[in-house]
Amino acid sequence: MKSLTVTEQPLLASAARTSSGQSSGYRVDCFLEGNLIINVTAASGTMQTLTVTPQISFDNSTFYPKNDDSIEITETGQYVLPVTNFGKYLRADYEIGGSGSSFTFTIKFNGKG
């Protein structure tokens, strides 16, 4: 049986964020599957939400959301979002909602290949 290796790539460093955005693209075509690991260490605001959606690209320029793969977060904790059937590049898109919302979080990609 062939042994698979797991590679971890930071996509977003820990920071307090109050507006939506996305990470840089990361080349993933050498992986079979992976997980986005979202670690939220602080959350504040009224009805705060953090929605993380993987986006894929074949040229690291135009990205498309994987709408069937997203997670909505409302409190601190560590969250895992499995990602399969990705293109050549992957990035994490995040949307922050609510009134006066702030989230401190990191996003990493763990790829298995």
Domains identified in the chain and CATH numbers: 14-112 (2.60.120)
Confirm whether pTM is higher than 0.85: yes
State how far the Cα of 86 lies from the Cα of 55, in Å rounded to an integer: 8
The pLDDT assigned to 3 comes to: 65
The pLDDT assigned to 84 comes to: 86
Task: Please compute, for residue 31, the number of CA atoms within 13 A of its CA located in the half-sphere on the CB side.
Answer: 24
Output the tens digit of pLDDT for each of the chain's 113 residues: 566 778 999 999 999 999 999 999 999 999 989 999 999 999 999 999 999 999 999 999 999 987 678 999 999 999 999 998 888 999 999 999 999 999 999 999 999 98
CA-nearest of 71, 31, 78, 74 to 54 is 71
State how far the Cα of 98 lies from the Cα of 96, in Å rounded to an integer: 7
